[in-house]
Amino acid sequence: MRWDLCCVKCLGVLPYASLFATILLYAGVALFCGCGHEALSGTVTILQNYFEVVRAETLDVLTMIDILKYVIYGVAAAFFVYGILLMVEGFFTTGAIRDLYGDFKITACGRCVSAWFIMLTYIFFLAWLGVTAFTSLPVFMYFNIWTICQNTTVVEGANLCLDLRQFGMVTIGEERKVCTGSEKFFKMCESNELDMTFHLFVCALAGAGAAVIAMVHYLMVLSANWAYVKDACRMQKYEDIKSKEEQELHDIHSTRSKERLNAYT
């Protein structure tokens, strides 16, 4: 399909396909960053209140969570700028196609920039796939805990424990666990932190998925625009050669006409 080109012809000069992808990207990144940040804060509260995890001078799980929060800040800022750059590229690319037969000329630099954006967007697409897979891990963990809490009557009498060593959050020598039937387990299940953190991670996963879809949409738009810009360049060269040949033929006819006129005179 002729994504931005068709939109420009039908609806005006605005690259609506790029605009839709940008809105989807901003929505996905905002959902992932906002919900992910709050979910990490809720995780810290749960670890400190119910698993009695304390901060250490070395690199521990709480320090890693703080690092992830700063990474989220960087992701939000970077993709805000990247979305603007892709929108600007969409404007220039569709403008280059639209004004093919006008004064605007497509340069080799513009084609290289389009190809560079395609490569960069593909790398970001793979990165967001990894982020989506990584975000699914805490969703799975919290889903198991949330399911156990929702079925406390079923697990009553069974000695089930949630041990952080199973998830690699603490070292083997540290024993940080909460078992069913304990007071901490019931307090954790009745608290708002667990339910809220679980649903925030689900929303963050949905945001990462939306960012993946936005990257795919961008790839389709950029690839289509680059292909049509490439065809437009070939058309430009053909028109230039044709115009040059017509001018040469016109000059030859003019010269012959003048020679015949001089011979007749």
Element (H, E) at 134: helix 108-150
| Measured distance CA(218)–CA(90) in Å, rounded | 10
Q: What is the pLDDT of residues 7-47, one digit of tens each?
A: 444 444 578 888 899 999 999 999 999 999 999 999 999 98
How far apart (Å, rounded) are the C-alpha atoms in residues 25 and 111?
24
How many whole angstroms separate alpha carbon 223 and alpha carbon 50? Answer: 51
What confidence score (pLDDT) does residue 77 get? Answer: 93
- Lowest-confidence segment of 37-51, 88-102, 149-163, 224-238 by average pLDDT: 88-102
Confidence band (pLDDT; 50, 70, 90) for 180?
A: confident
Share of the chain above pLDDT 70, in %: 75
Q: Is the pLDDT of residue 52 over 50?
A: yes
21, 217 Cβ separation under 8 angstroms? yes
What pLDDT, in 10s, does the model give residues 76-131? Answer: 999 999 999 988 888 777 665 555 444 445 556 667 778 889 999 999 999 999 99
* Average pLDDT for the chain: 80
pLDDT at 216: 95
H or E, element range at 163: strand 161-163
Q: What is the pLDDT of residue 239?
A: 67
Quick one: pLDDT at residue 103?
41
Residues 6+ apart with CB under 8 A from 158: 180
Residue 195 has a CB neighbour count (10 Å cut-off) of 16
Over residues 169-178, mean pLDDT = 79
> Between these two residues, 14 and 199, which has the higher pLDDT value?
199
Which has more pLDDT, 171 or 4?
A: 171
| pLDDT beyond 70 at 261 | no
- pLDDT grade, residue 231 (50/70/90)? low
Three-class SS state of 152: coil
* CA-to-CA separations, 148 to 37, 40, 256, in angstroms, rounded: 25, 21, 97
Cβ-contact 234, 185 below 8 angstroms: no
